Structure 1
Amino acid sequence: MALTVLAPVSGTVVAMADVPDPVFAEGMVGPGIAVDPILDGAPSIVVAPISGVVAALHPHAFVVTDAGRRGVLVHLGIDTVQLGGEGFSVHVSTGDTVRAGDHLITWSPADVAAGGRSPLVPVVVLETPPDRLDTLAAPGTRVAAEAAPGTPLLRVT
């Protein structure tokens, strides 16, 4: 059964190869795409890209797995682990069941950028061969996270 991955944040789609971190850019974590979030200074709500269970959770990153045990990693900015959770408000816990579009985290991509870090948001489908992933939103496309149901980014076949 195909899995559609929705945009976890609003912004502009960026090719994973353009993410300024070789772990993501070279696909070491897995295939995916990134979103350059809106930097208007307002807090940004991060939503679940798929329905499932919050399998891993940090203030700057999370994984949601679906019923078929397929996981989607969302990483909020690059090198944001160094912030120690500062600037991130987490609204769920590990083990929670979520629906695509549920609010999971609030953060300020503008604050991340002002601190000298990239606010790009990699969205990675874990343990999936690249040939099983279709890109639904090409680089340069504007996407919305909070529109119901959210802009589709990727499809896993």
Structure 2
Amino acid sequence: MTTVLAPVAGAAVSLESVPDPVFSGGMVGPGAAIDPARKPGRAISPIAGKIVKLHPHAFVVVGDDGRGILVHLGIDTVQLRGEGFELLAAEGDRVRAGQPVVAWNPAEIEAGGRCPVCPVVALDAPEGAVSGLAEGAVSAGDALFQWR
């Protein structure tokens, strides 16, 4: 079992409530989302592993067991081309759970007309593989869900 940590502080919400059909429909996998606190902060790695993809607005960490977790900072934030994000790690880096990966400001994302909600997805996991979803307020580093 893999415990997936909340990468940002805020309110845990269901993936189905994310205003993007790719995430809400579970097309990339099951998981949860966080409606982030509207203040500058750092997105941390939800698991220990290797950063296999790193874009300013999103990253994927794969654990030693081969399980990958996608963290997407906001919806449609790819359109910002990195503006408002600061990389704190590099693709290929090994990270520990809780290690900062990207600095960002959800309030700026929202002020720019985009939704700052952060999907956290168990990539390619079968339906029903995720349980114990957190509800309500979470701090970065709190358990967000379990991947069985």
Determine if the TM-score, normalized by the shorter chain, exceeds 0.5: yes
- CA distance in 2 between counterparts of 1:116 and 1:59 reads 18
Q: Where do 1:121-140 residues align within 5 Å? A: 121-138=118-135
How many Å apart are 1:43 and its aligned residue? Answer: 1.4
- CA distance in 1 between counterparts of 2:83 and 2:92 reads 22
TM-score, normalised on structure 1?
0.92
Q: Where do 1:102-117 residues align within 5 Å? A: 102-117=99-114
Could you tell me which runs of 5 or more consecutive residues in structure 2 were left unpaired when the two chains were aligned: none
More displaced stretch, 64-73 vs 125-134: 125-134
**What is the aligned length?**
148
How many Å apart are 1:44 and its aligned residue? Answer: 1.2
How many Å apart are 1:48 and its aligned residue? Answer: 0.4
Kindly indicate whether the alpha-carbon contact (under 8 Å) linking 2:32 and 2:133 is maintained by their aligned counterparts in 1: no
Report the counterpart of residue 98 of structure 1 in structure 2.
95
AA aligned to 1:116 is G
Secondary structure of the corresponding residue to residue 79 of structure 2: helix
Kindly indicate whether the alpha-carbon contact (under 8 Å) linking 2:58 and 2:72 is maintained by their aligned counterparts in 1: yes
Report the counterpart of residue 4 of structure 2 in structure 1.
5
AA aligned to 1:135 is G
- CA distance in 1 between counterparts of 2:92 and 2:71 reads 16
RMSD (Å), alpha carbons:
0.7
- CA distance in 2 between counterparts of 1:127 and 1:45 reads 26
Report the counterpart of residue 36 of structure 2 in structure 1.
37
Report the counterpart of residue 72 of structure 2 in structure 1.
75
- CA distance in 2 between counterparts of 1:112 and 1:132 reads 31
2:53 is equivalent to residue 56 of structure 1: yes
